[in-house]
Amino acid sequence: MSGLRKVRQGKVVFDGKDITHLPSYERVKLGISQSPEGRGCFPGMTVSENLDMGAYVRKDRKSAAYKEDLERVFELFPRLQERVNQSAGTLSGGEQQMLAIGRALMAKPKLLLLDEPSMGLAPKLVAQIFSIITEINSQGTTILLVEQNASQALQRAHRAYVLEVGRVVKTADAKSLLDDDSVRAAYLGGSVEG
């Protein structure tokens, strides 16, 4: 979806348009933004500069709409506003994850791609990040989430796909998969954590 990997077969269609061979920066212009695995902040830049980098394709950086989007990020992640002039490399892992998601939101995406947003975070931060992901979705942004924490993901998703060795082995609405005994046994340890 992001265009960072070459498609070997099939095609990628977004909003009715074949984007299979479209470069990633053009996909951002269409409304696809991502927060990569491992956070991927610019460590030598401030929080403010990182957020501005997320909006690099926008032509309205001086507008009220841009300021509103920045305020939305700060409402979702108040810690970022507190650290707006701090170097991203000095933030905690959880704060860097918040920054990576905030930076992706600054592109004003229709589709937000999140790759393992809970990786390496303390359980309390994992719950906070998933709560924020739910809020972003409820505000109207579609989210494609790749996540090994199946319990957290299935509790929030509308539709889910179970992959094994790169192949889809099950797909259904998330509630059905959450209640599926074979999925519970294989991926949830037989129970669901909140």
The answer as to whether 142 is a domain residue is: yes
Q: Residue 101 is part of which domain span?
A: 13-148
Could you tell me if residue 51 is inside a domain? yes
Structurally, the chain folds into a number of domains equal to: 1
Q: 25-76, pLDDT tens digit by residue?
A: 999 999 999 987 777 899 999 999 999 999 998 888 788 999 999 999 999 9
For residue 24, is it within any domain?
A: yes
* Strands 111-115 vs 32-35: parallel, antiparallel or unpaired: parallel
∠ CA 185-189-194, rounded to 5°: 120
pLDDT tens track for 110-160 = 999 999 999 988 888 999 999 999 999 999 999 999 998 888 899 999 999
Domain contains 35: yes
In-domain check, residue 163: no
Q: Yes or no: say if 88 and 50 are a contact pair by the CB < 8 Å rule.
A: yes
**156 domain-assigned:** no
Using CA atoms, how far apart are residues 145 and 113, in angstroms rounded to an integer?
A: 6
Residues 6+ apart with CB under 8 A from 53: 42, 45, 103
Give me the CATH number covering residue 105: 3.40.50.300
Tell me, yes or no, whether 181 lies in a domain: no
Q: Residue 126 falls within a domain, yes or no?
A: yes
